[in-house]
Structure 1
Amino acid sequence: MSKRKRFVLVSLLLTLGLFGIQFIRVDYRYQAILLLGGLAYVFCGWALSEDLHKIEWLTALTLPVIYPVSVGLFYFLLPERMLSRLIILGIFGVGMYALLLTENIFTVAAIRTIQLLRAARAVGFLLTLVTAFFLFDTIWSFRLPFYANAILVGLASVPLIFQALWSVELTEDRIERRTVVYSLCLSLAIGELALALSFWPVTVSVGSLFLVTMAYVGLGISQYHFSGRLFRRTLYEYLGVGMIVLLTTYLVTKWG
């Protein structure tokens, strides 16, 4: 079976799995979502197995596992309308297929130069932010204490940032020390922002978008730094986006 057929099959199976979870009793849905994540690792590992080597079984499969889990968690926050859920399922299936293509390019690019690498990094960056939004939105919807928000947001950020930074390094036999250090530092910063934001009367969507934007700023700057292309203009552009979103969040927050 060709790779593309494998990718299509895996995307369909995971989409059907996500659809089937809604028929499981509420008490067991979180366990079912974790099971979906485990199946995603097995299925995606099988689909990409030809080019996976050493640490790529961890790095290249991180996002393909977290993505369906995040969508599964977000899926049950939606209104119980079949149309909206079918739309999410369709978007998920397309996103899963695109993600498998992206990770395939990463694993090949770790061995030899490939022209589609820049496009793959853009898609991977986008799906990382989408996944982060789903996770942050789920965490924020629980209305947890400030320390729980900080811990959960920080922990959720670690693997997402780690795999995104690895996509710049693309090492197959080792994990660079700076990748680990930057992942932990950026995740800590996002967790601290979540802690501070817990004291603001923001809505779930606004809070999640703010955190995702800050992740976009930190991760974008770090990726440019890793690739040796972080110029002053690029830095100012990212910081400008962060300041605009911070100001917008402040203005749309109902303080009264």
Structure 2
Amino acid sequence: MFKRRLKLARKVRTSNFGKKLRSFLIGKRQRFVASVIFLSTALFISEYFLGRSGMFLVFGLAILTDFLLYLSVKGDLKDNFSPQVFILPFLYSLAIGLFYLLVPARLLTRITITSLYALGLYSLYLSENIFIVSSMRTIALLSSARTVTFTISLLSYFFLSNVIFSLHLNVFLTLFFIFCFTFPMILQALWIYTLEKSIKTNFNWALFLTISIFELSILLWFWPSTPTLIALFLTGVFYSIVGLSQVWLEKRLFKGVIWEYILVSLIVFSVLFFYTSWS
């Protein structure tokens, strides 16, 4: 009788330990870490060893970024699916991967960018997870997640704009690509403040803001400046109009806040104007 109880107790302990170990090994954070390590390694290998030919793998890597995110959070997405969750992770990986082409082919530089990519991607994964959970219940980390996500959006927007203008494509292709990443990025930036499942909720608003940047991009294509300065100015405009939209959604669109965003726009325009070679 005593032996049976002892065996039963051991089974229970083993079972509990197994569940805890399994929960630790396949927990959400552990899946995020494993995904980030895999994607960062793949990015470094594709860019450092394959060079410019690795550009084609960047698009596959961006798709894989979303796929791994889906595998990590699919349990929470079953009854609460929001396609906006997958916009920024895709564009972030795409932006970093393409920006690699503009960076000097030095080992230290590549390691630094890969490390920053890994840190940003892990923060982004955690933020997207917070948004998914927040759409079901209120949690305290929502404000921090919004800040992190918007920062990564600005970084991604600058990198993508820089790459597009560095390619020196014709005006139609340039505007097409600008529209392709501006619209979903604005849509995602508005979604993190509404957390509505349907894309239609902020579609018209995002389209209007995108058209504003689209029209400005027409002028910038003819502007005699460097791609980096143009991308910096365009990112500043993106920051201003999207930031104003976000504070409006938060119902704190005060005069001081408006002037803050206007000041940012004036600063980036001044940098663009005074550092442009007019000769």
In the alignment, is the contact (CA less than 8 A) between 2:80 and 2:132 conserved in 1? no
Provide, for residues 118-173 of structure 1, a one-character-per-residue CA deviation record: whole Å limited to 9, x for no partner: 1110000000111111111110110122333222212210111111110000123x
| 2:216 aligned partner, one-letter code | L
Could you tell me how far apart the structure 1 residues matched to 2:254 and 2:179 are? 28
| 2:180 aligned partner, one-letter code | L
Deviation for aligned residue 1:55: 7.0
Provide, for residues 176-202 of structure 1, a one-character-per-residue CA deviation record: whole Å limited to 9, x for no partner: 53x111211111111221110111111
Deviation for aligned residue 1:253: 0.7
Which has the larger Rg? Answer: 2
In the alignment, is the contact (CA less than 8 A) between 2:158 and 2:232 conserved in 1? yes
In the alignment, is the contact (CA less than 8 A) between 1:155 and 1:187 conserved in 2? no
Q: How does 1:126-165 map to 2 (within 5 A)?
A: 126-165=151-190
Provide, for residues 189-239 of structure 1, a one-character-per-residue CA deviation record: whole Å limited to 9, x for no partner: 112211101111111111111100000001000111122221222112111
Q: Residue 118 of structure 1 aligns with which residue?
A: 143
Determine whether 1:198 maps to 2:221: yes
Determine whether 1:247 maps to 2:273: no
Of 30-39 and 94-103, more deviation after overlay is shown by 30-39
Q: Which of 28, 50, 60 is residue 24 of structure 1 equivalent to? A: 50
Could you tell me how far apart the structure 2 residues matched to 1:54 and 1:143 are? 45
Q: How does 1:21-170 map to 2 (within 5 A)?
A: 21-22=46-47, 23-24=49-50, 26-27=52-53, 29-53=54-78, 56-170=81-195
In the alignment, is the contact (CA less than 8 A) between 2:224 and 2:278 conserved in 1? yes
Q: Residue 175 of structure 1 aligns with which residue?
A: 199
What stretches of structure 1 move > 6 A for 4+ residues in a row?
Answer: none
Q: CA separation of 1:79/1:240 partners in 2, compared to 1, >3 Å: closer, same or farther?
A: same
Deviation for aligned residue 1:54: 6.0
Q: Percent identity?
A: 34
Q: CA separation of 1:74/1:10 partners in 2, compared to 1, >3 Å: closer, same or farther?
A: same
Secondary structure at the residue paired with 1:253?
coil
Q: Which of 182, 205, 210 is residue 187 of structure 1 equivalent to? A: 210
Q: CA separation of 1:54/1:136 partners in 2, compared to 1, >3 Å: closer, same or farther?
A: farther
Determine whether 1:14 maps to 2:39: yes
Of 224-233 and 17-26, more deviation after overlay is shown by 17-26
Secondary structure at the residue paired with 2:45?
helix
Secondary structure at the residue paired with 2:140?
coil
More helix by share: 2
Could you tell me how far apart the structure 2 residues matched to 1:123 and 1:7 are? 16
TM-score (norm 2): 0.86
In the alignment, is the contact (CA less than 8 A) between 1:102 and 1:121 conserved in 2? yes
Deviation for aligned residue 1:248: 2.2
In the alignment, is the contact (CA less than 8 A) between 1:149 and 1:191 conserved in 2? no
Deviation for aligned residue 1:254: 1.0
- Mind listing any 5+ residue stretches in structure 2 that lack a counterpart? 1-25
Could you tell me how far apart the structure 1 residues matched to 2:192 and 2:225 are? 33
Deviation for aligned residue 1:51: 1.8
Could you tell me how far apart the structure 2 residues matched to 1:159 and 1:215 are? 13
- Pairs aligned (count): 253
In the alignment, is the contact (CA less than 8 A) between 2:91 and 2:181 conserved in 1? no
| 2:210 aligned partner, one-letter code | S
Could you tell me how far apart the structure 2 residues matched to 1:78 and 1:248 are? 22
| 1:72 aligned partner, one-letter code | G
Deviation for aligned residue 1:25: 6.5
Of 31-40 and 157-166, more deviation after overlay is shown by 31-40
